[in-house]
Amino acid sequence: MSAVPDTSWRHVTDLSGKTVVVTGCASGIGRATALQFASAGAVVFGGDRNEADGVAAIDAIRQAGGSGQFVKLDLTDGASIDGFVDQVMAAIGGAPDIIANVAGLDRVMPFLDNTPDVWELLAKVNYIGPVRMIHRFLPRMLERGSGKIVTVASDAGRVGSSGETFYAGTKGAVIAFTKSLARETARAGLTCNCVAPGPTDTPLFNGTIPEGKLRDALIRAIPLKRLAQPVEIAHTVVYLATPATDFMTGQVISVSGGLTMHG
């Protein structure tokens, strides 16, 4: 008789011995995600173009008793992405168990004020770069027959956002990509899910919507009457990478304080 699998909560949320790639690890949601993965027992490979703060995030993991390594990553640069993937796979001896693509970039302005260089930058950081990275890791994950891919989009990509039209487009692309990849990889045993944050208290958000009437109005529109903290988004990212979600794939989970309730 085969052993009954351990389905206790402690077991299904334990990532001990798992390896995870976290992009955007230097600050905001990415940093919080890297720390939460480490606290769940995973070995974290953090990537970011901000080397100083990325190294500091990994140092924080190690100081807390976790394990991690920083690898420089610029999602606008194909050679940097390839170098990141090669270095991570060499360190692991294969593909990571989990990919958490958290890095993102925004520019808030009317669409008619956009310029092609803004489009190109946002498209590379938010969509093309992550797609290239996942494409490089994916063959080894498929060969292994297991893996979890978690992308971070935005509720702007689900419902639109005035002043963020092209940004919303890139995040909508991430959502569609994740759902389609989930369909292609399910038979091989992989899962692909997406987290769509609402307004979150991060350096990116604070730099685009500073203190003032617009920010106050936005907070009033959130049913829970506050911004999310980065760790609250990170908790959902990590949850989607645990065995607790082995039967979930192709899903988009909004974490928005109720701002974007939908049926």
Active site residues: 167
Residues 6 or more apart in contact with residue 177 via CB below 8 angstroms: 127, 131, 151
Task: Give 162's contacts (C-beta < 8 A, 6+ positions apart).
Answer: none
Q: β-pairing, 147-152 with 43-48?
A: unpaired
C-alpha to C-alpha distance for 79 and 136, rounded to whole angstroms: 12
Distance of CA 161 to the CA centre of its chain: 20
In our burial notation (b when 16+ CB lie closer than 10 A, e otherwise), range 143-177 reads eeeebbbbbbbbbbbbbebebbebbbbbbbbbbeb
Q: DSSP letter for 246, please.
A: T
Q: Which residue, 32, 26, 40, 24, is CA-closest to 133?
A: 24
**3-class secondary structure for 201-232?**
CCHHHHHHCCCCHHHHHHHHHCCCCCCECHHH
> Chain-centre distance of CA 33, in angstroms?
8
Q: Which residue in 5, 6, 12, 93 sits closest to 45, CA to CA?
A: 93
